[in-house]
Amino acid sequence: PFLPYDLFAAINDLKRSLNAVILAHYYQDPEIQDIADYIGDSLGLSQQAAGTKADVIVFAGVHFMAETAKILNPDKLVLLPDLEAGCSLADSCPPEEFAKFKAAHPDHLVVSYINCSAEIKAMSDIICTSSNAVKIVSQIPRDQPIIFAPDRNLGRYVMEQTGRELVLWQGSCIVHETFSEKKIAQLLIEHPEAEFIAHPECEPSVLRHANYIGSTTALLSYSQKSSSQAFIVATEPGIIHQMRKEAPSKHFIPAPGNNSCACNECPHMRLNTLEKLYLAMKNQTPSLTLPEDIRVAALRPISRMLEMSG
């Protein structure tokens, strides 16, 4: 397809003519972050989607994020630059199997991490994100048994923080599971001055070394506030673009993956490109659609989360 020479200018023109807003997750390519109107973590992005006055939402993230924006905005056009941008964690929780799991625990409340499909949301009582999971679970009466899905690592972290037993769905994220304790321990020896900061989707063997654990937004603000000058960062390295922008004098070291290429980028998030973003806006496709009954059922636990996170 024909691509204009200055994609930034062309995207900005389309933004004005469509009355569109571009929402981007921190794991997007730096150039997509730079053209976005708002960059955030899953909670911030869903709050922005819930409050936007734009007619068109261009979601530079993965499918479940754009889907959440569509659940909140059924009458708006929600564009995702690449519809194939899925999520290994969302895929690790198929609806039919989850329905059986839920049926096996009939008196349990279902708290689901936002990284799941609309079908799983529709079977849930409350949605949470990595930045409000502890806060949400803490608001549920202690005698109420809870299923937590789909991320077992975030679930274990919430169990530790709240001192509560949760029945965990055994899902995980391919990106955060790639960090190994051995490589982190080596890095900590090489950089004794650095603080180790990690996302709660990492495994417990990695999290136990962390000086600070938080969502992408929380990691970003911690890295700005802390007096440390160096950080080893165990999450998708897209976030380091913002960390460097906000504190150019500090040193950020991406924790390497444990695979042959030491790669730690999310293959789903990185399917989106500036070119695809431009084409999605120009052609007004691909867009999100979902059955109305699922949308209505999935909206209820998302609205509960937005109320409970204040």
Q: Cα–Cα distance between 151 and 176 in angstroms, integer?
A: 11
Given ligand 13P, ligand SF4, none, residue 157, with its beta carbon under 5 to 8 Å by kind, binds none
Query: Is there a binding annotation on residue 130?
Result: yes
Measured from the CB of residue 266, what is the shortest distance to ligand SF4 in angstroms? 3
Q: Does 115 bind ligand 13P (CB under 6 A)?
A: yes
Query: Is there a binding annotation on residue 113?
Result: yes
Q: Cα–Cα distance between 291 and 143 in angstroms, integer?
A: 35
C-alpha dist (Å) from residue 302 to 24, 94, 100, 135, 148: 19, 19, 22, 15, 15
Residue nearest to ligand 13P (CB): 41
Q: Cα–Cα distance between 170 and 148 in angstroms, integer?
A: 9
* String marking each residue 268-307 x if it binds ligand SF4 according to CB under 6 A: xx--------------------------------------
Query: Is there a binding annotation on residue 251?
Result: no
C-alpha dist (Å) from residue 9 to 4, 36, 62, 241: 9, 13, 24, 21
- Report the residue number, 10 or 83, with the smaller CB distance to ligand SF4: 83
Measured from the CB of residue 257, what is the shortest distance to ligand SF4 in angstroms? 12
Q: Does 216 bind ligand 13P (CB under 6 A)?
A: yes
Of 23, 62, 234, 280, the one binding ligand SF4 (CB under 6 A) is: 62
Nearest to 166 by CA among 114, 111, 100, 121: 111
Whether 264 contacts 257, CB under 8 Å: yes
DSSP annotation of 176 reads G
Measured from the CB of residue 177, what is the shortest distance to ligand SF4 in angstroms? 9
Q: Does 129 bind ligand 13P (CB under 6 A)?
A: yes
Phi and psi of 286, rounded to 5°? -80, 145
Q: Does 172 bind ligand 13P (CB under 6 A)?
A: no
- The torsion region of residue 286 among left (phi > 0), alpha (psi -120 to 50) and beta comes to beta
Q: Which residues contact 144 (CB under 8 A, 6 or more apart)?
A: 109
Query: Is there a binding annotation on residue 173?
Result: yes
One-letter amino acid for residue 96 of the chain: E
Q: Does 72 bind ligand SF4 (CB under 6 A)?
A: no
- Report the residue number, 239 or 299, with the smaller CB distance to ligand 13P: 239
- Report the residue number, 35 or 89, with the smaller CB distance to ligand SF4: 89
One-letter amino acid for residue 28 of the chain: Q
In the annotated binding site for [4Fe-4S] cluster, the residues are 87, 173, 266
Residues in contact with ligand SF4 by CB under 6 A are 27, 62, 87-89, 115, 173-175, 236, 266, 268-269
